[in-house]
C-alpha cells in the first residue's frame, strides 16, 4: 500500500470472486493473489484434490505419479516442451532458466527489458517492474555489481534497443528474457515486429529465448502467450496458475536442453519441496479443469474482459478522464495518462499514479479490490459472474466520477 497510501486489508478468507477482510467486509477481487486464482478462490475441484492429497502425507522428497501426470499434461499443452522441472516459485523458475541458458551456451550475459519483472533473484533486479517499479527502486541494494554487470537492459517494444545490444554483445549473450505480455508495469503486450526482432537477434547470436509466462501461462490461453502469439521460445518459465494457489512453478524446454540439468547434466538445480504433493494436487486439478473446459473457459474470460474494457472506456469518456485501458483476455490495466497509447516503460513512467491511488481507494471503499499499485495488472477469474461485473462497473463509474 506504500504507493496508494492507507492500511492494507488483512484477509481472513476468500470464496469465488470475493475476499473477506478480518472485519468481515466483502470485496470483489481483481487481484486474484496476483494471478494464480483463475478459477476463483477455493474452487471445489481444488479443495477436493487437496483434501484427497493431504491425508496421504504432505511431502515425501521422492517422485510421485501426480507430478509425472502434471508434467505430461504440460508437455501436451506447450509446443516444444518435452520435459519440465518442478520448482516452488516464479523467482526460482527464472533463476533456473537463466542458469540453464548460461550452462548450455557457456556465456554469461543476459538481455532483459525495462519494466519486466522476473522475480527477485540478483540478475533480474535492474529496472524491474512490479514491486521495484512501484517503490521506485531502479536497482536493489545487496546485489553484487559483479553479478548485475552481466545483465543488459533493453526497452520493451523497442527493436532498435534490442538490435543495439546484440550488435555490441552478440557473442557473449546466453539468453534474452521477456514477459511476452508484460503484466508488471501494467499490462503491455509485445508487438509482433518486436517479437520477430527478439527471435531473429537471438537466433543470429546463438542465444536462447526465455519466455517468462509465470503470469500469462494458462491465463491468456491454455498455452499462454506463446500459443496466442504462435511463438516457440527455447525455455518457458511457469508459475502462479500451475500451483492452483499453492506454491509451485516450473521450467519447460526440449529434452536436449533439459538434460543439461542435474542430475543428468552439469547445471545444478534442486529443491526440498519441489513437486510438493499438495501443490501438485492443486495445480493438476486446476490445469485439468482448464484443459477439459478450455473453449468455454477462455471464451468466458475474453467475454467478461471485453465487457470490462468497454464499460471502463465508456465511463472514462463520460467523466472526461484521460486514460488508456490495455487488456489481453482476463488481464487489464487502466493507465491514467494523456498519452494516446501505452506500449513502453517510458509511457508507463509518465502515468498519473496519484490519480490511480484515489481511484483505488474509491473502489476499495465500495467493496472492489484492485491492485494497490498503478503498475500492476487486474485479473478476472471464472468465478466473476455477470452480476459481479455489473456491480463493479457501476462502482468504476461512481469512482471515476469521484476522482474526475
Ligand atoms: N515472473 C513474472 C512475470 C511474475 O509476474 C512474477 C511474480 O509476480 C515472477 C516472475 C516471480 O514469481 P514469484 O513471486 O512466484 O517468485
Q: How far apart (Å, rounded) are the C-alpha atoms in residues 136 and 31?
A: 21
> CA 245, CA 15: separation in Å to the nearest integer?
13
Residue 6 Cα to ligand 1 middle (Å): 25
Mutation probe of ligand 1 site: the residue of 33, 91, 187, 211 with most atoms within 8 A of C-beta = 91
pLDDT at 404: 87
Ligand 1 within 6 A of 94 CB? yes
- Residue where the block lists cell 473453449: 295
Ligand 1 centre from 130 Cα, in Å? 9
DSSP string covering 205-272: HTPEEEEE-TTTTTTTSTTHHHHHTT---SEEEE-GGGGTTSS-EEEEE-HHHHTTBTTTSSB----T
Whether pTM exceeds 0.85: yes
Neighbour-count burial of 191, counting CB atoms closer than 10 A to its CB (0-12 exposed, 13-18 middle, 19+ buried): middle
| H or E element that contains 99 | helix 90-105
pLDDT at 139: 80
| Residue corresponding to grid cell 490461453 | 221
Pocket test of ligand 1: the residue of 31, 123, 240 to mutate, having most ligand atoms within 8 Å of its CB, is 240
Q: What is the pLDDT along the chain (404 residues), one digit of tens a residue?
A: 989 999 999 999 999 999 999 999 999 999 999 999 999 999 999 999 999 999 999 999 999 999 999 999 999 999 999 999 999 999 999 999 999 999 999 999 999 999 999 999 999 998 888 888 888 777 889 999 999 999 999 999 999 999 999 999 999 999 999 999 999 999 999 999 999 999 999 999 999 999 999 999 999 999 999 999 999 999 999 999 999 999 999 999 999 999 999 999 999 999 999 999 999 999 999 999 999 999 999 999 999 999 999 999 999 999 999 999 999 999 999 999 999 999 999 999 999 999 999 999 999 999 999 999 999 999 999 999 999 999 999 999 999 999 98
Q: Which three three-digit cell numbers place residue 193?
A: 515486429
pLDDT score, position 291: 98
| CB of 187 closer than 8 Å to CB of 181 | yes
Q: How far is the CA of 214 from the centre of ligand 1 (A)?
A: 6
Residue 333 forms beta bridges with which residues? 326
Q: Rg of the Cα trace of the chain? A: 21
Q: Residue 117: CB within 6 Å of ligand 1?
A: yes
Strand pairing partners for 182? 188
**299, 239, 216, 294 alpha-carbon torsion, rounded to 10°:** -20
Cβ-count burial of 136 within 10 angstroms (0-12 exposed, 13-18 middle, 19+ buried)? exposed
Instruction: Return the pLDDT at 134.
Output: 82
Start-to-end Cα distance in the chain = 22
Q: Work out the number of other CB atoms within 10 angstroms of the CB of residue 313.
A: 14
Amino acid at each position: 500500500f506504500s504507493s496508494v497510501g492507507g492500511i492494507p486489508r488483512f484477509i481472513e478468507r476468500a470464496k469465488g470472486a470475493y475476499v473477506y477482510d478480518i472485519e468481515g467486509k466483502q470485496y470483489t477481487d481483481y487481484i486474484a493473489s496476483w494471478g494464480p486464482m483463475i478459477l476463483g478462490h477455493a474452487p471445489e475441484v481444488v479443495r477436493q484434490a487437496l483434501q484427497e492429497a493431504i491425508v496421504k502425507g504432505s511431502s515425501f522428497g521422492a517422485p510421485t505419479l501426480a507430478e509425472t501426470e502434471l508434467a505430461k499434461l504440460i508437455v501436451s499443452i506447450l509446443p516444444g516442451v518435452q520435459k519440465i522441472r518442478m520448482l516452488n516459485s516464479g523467482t526460482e523458475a527464472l533463476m533456473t532458466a537463466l542458469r540453464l541458458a548460461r550452462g548450455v551456451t557457456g556465456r554469461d550475459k543476459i538481455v532483459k527489458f525495462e519494466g519486466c519483472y522476473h522475480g527477485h533473484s540478483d540478475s533480474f533486479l535492474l529496472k524491474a517492474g512490479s514491486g521495484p517499479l512501484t517503490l521506485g527502486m531502479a536497482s536493489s541494494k545487496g546485489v553484487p555489481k559483479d553479478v548485475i554487470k552481466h545483465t543488459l537492459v533493453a526497452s520493451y517494444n523497442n527493436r532498435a534497443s534490442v538490435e543495439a545490444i546484440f550488435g555490441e554483445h552478440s557473442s557473449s549473450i546466453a539468453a534474452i528474457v521477456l514477459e511476452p505480455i508484460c503484466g508488471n508495469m501494467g499490462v503491455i503486450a509485445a508487438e509482433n515486429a518486436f517479437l520477430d526482432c527478439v527471435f531473429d537477434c537471438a537466433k543470429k547470436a546463438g542465444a536462447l529465448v526465455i519466455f517468462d509466462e509465470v503470469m500469462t501461462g494458462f491465463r491468456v490461453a491454455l498455452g499462454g502467450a506463446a500459443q496466442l502469439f504462435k511463438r516457440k521460445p527455447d525455455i518457458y518459465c511457469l508459475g502462479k496458475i500451475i500451483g492452483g494457489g499453492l506454491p509451485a512453478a516450473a521450467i519447460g524446454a526440449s529434452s536436449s536442453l533439459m538434460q543439461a540439468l542435474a542430475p543428468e547434466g552439469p547445471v545444478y538445480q534442486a529443491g526440498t519441496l519441489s513437486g510438493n504433493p499438495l501443490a501438485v494436487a492443486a495445480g493438476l486439478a486446476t490445469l485439468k479443469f482448464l484443459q477439459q473446459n478450455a473453449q468455454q473457459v477462455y471464451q468466458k474470460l475474453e467475454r467478461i474482459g471485453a465487457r470490462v474494457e468497454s464499460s471502463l472506456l465508456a465511463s472514462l469518456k463520460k467523466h472526461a478522464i484521460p486514460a488508456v485501458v490495455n487488456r489481453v483476455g482476463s488481464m487489464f490495466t487502466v493507465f491514467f495518462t494523456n498519452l494516446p497509447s501505452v506500449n513502453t516503460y517510458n509511457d508507463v513512467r509518465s502515468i498519473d499514479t496519484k490519480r490511480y491511488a484515489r481511484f483505488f481507494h474509491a473502489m476499495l471503499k465500495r467493496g472492489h479490490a484492485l491492485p494497490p499499485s498503478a503498475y500492476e495488472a487486474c485479473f478476472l477469474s471464472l468465478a466473476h459472474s455477470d452480476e459481479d461485473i455489473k456491480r463493479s462497473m457501476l462502482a468504476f463509474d461512481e469512482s471515476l466520477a469521484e476522482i474526475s
